[in-house]
Amino acid sequence: MRDMAAEVPQSNFRDSQAELVLNRLELIGVKNWYKEQLVNFGEMAAEAAPLTDGNQWKRELTPSGEVDKVDGSFFTLQGQTITRYNPDGTVGFKWTQPGLIQKEGEVNLPSKEGQERVRISGFVGIIKNGDKILLSFAQEPFSHSPKKVLARTPFQTSAAKLQGIIDGKRELDPHLFDLIASIAPGKSPDEIFRMGILDVFALPYADANRIDATNLGFVMQVKEPELIKKLENNGKNRWCSPQEAAALAKAGLLNGHTATAILASL
């Protein structure tokens, strides 16, 4: 019997799909930007290694010697027992699985309605100029893309850094601090949040079957020509149309958190 699978030439579907999507005439600008930025990155390797290293990742064992959890600075890998109940309250099905838990931090989030203490994992900013969205490129270890490079919003930060920015500590994240401060010159980030200029919202979970995260998003409109040009960062960032952002997603070149934040900001 002939092995038909052996006769079919192998190809990288992701790469060929990316080329197919971005080859459309109206996408030539974002395609050229992607190609130009890609040369600025070296290769990134991700290889299998022990889950714990005794330093950044440490294990905790149960009395019987099972792995209870693996703990790191920003994430915890914790076993979960999941029970699915029937409508009448009886147990329908039960199973165990690992869950990746993104560490949370408390933030005193100011708003027009007052101040609310929230626990969040991180903060993702969508910066807009009209309907255009500011995007950049960065490497992510498990990306299936050339040099593991994906498009993403250039403004993401942790709960601790966000609290520091609100408290006036610019050194924790100068780019995000200056961006927020640029909305209302002379006002502090705390005052700007209280003005209600930033549209803050809860981000959808990236994968609520396996990942527990509580990220917040915000949308900010910028209009000043000088700031719009400055945010381009000498071509490293680009103002992309919604169609271009969607094309990057279809090409497999858009970061998941950025994609969900863009969708939630529409």
SS3 93: strand
pLDDT in the model for residue 201: 93
Radius of gyration of the chain (CA): 22
The dihedral of CA 168, 172, 153, 178: what is its sign? positive
- Percent of the chain's residues with pLDDT above 90: 81
**Looking at residues 233-255, what average pLDDT do you find?**
96
pLDDT in the model for residue 3: 57
pLDDT in tens, 16-41: 888 888 999 899 999 999 999 999 99
Task: Tell me how far CA of residue 213 lies from CA of 29, 103, 108, 123, in angstroms.
Answer: 34, 8, 18, 11
**Looking at residues 221-244, what average pLDDT do you find?**
94
Q: What are the CB-based long-range contacts (under 8 Å, 24+) for 20-27?
A: 21/247, 21/250, 21/251, 22/247, 22/251, 24/247, 26/243, 27/243, 27/244, 27/247
**Looking at residues 176-195, what average pLDDT do you find?**
92
**Looking at residues 144-173, what average pLDDT do you find?**
94
**Has residue 96 got a pLDDT over 90?**
yes
Question: In which band, very low, low, confident or very high, does the pLDDT at 10 lie, cut at 50, 70 and 90?
Answer: very low
State how far the Cα of 165 lies from the Cα of 182, in Å rounded to an integer: 13
**Has residue 177 got a pLDDT over 90?**
yes
pLDDT in the model for residue 81: 94
Lowest-confidence segment of 4-18, 41-55, 81-95, 243-257 by average pLDDT: 4-18
**Has residue 125 got a pLDDT over 90?**
yes
Whole-prediction pTM: 0.87
**Beta-strand pair 67-71/75-85:** antiparallel
pLDDT in the model for residue 190: 95
State how far the Cα of 73 lies from the Cα of 48, in Å rounded to an integer: 20
**Has residue 124 got a pLDDT over 70?**
yes
Contact 181, 187 (CB under 8 A): yes
What mean pLDDT is reported for the chain?
91
The dihedral of CA 174, 206, 136, 244: what is its sign? negative
* Architecture of the 12-41+104-265 domain: Alpha-Beta Complex (3.90)
Q: Where in the chain is the domain with CATH 3.90.79?
A: 12-41+104-265
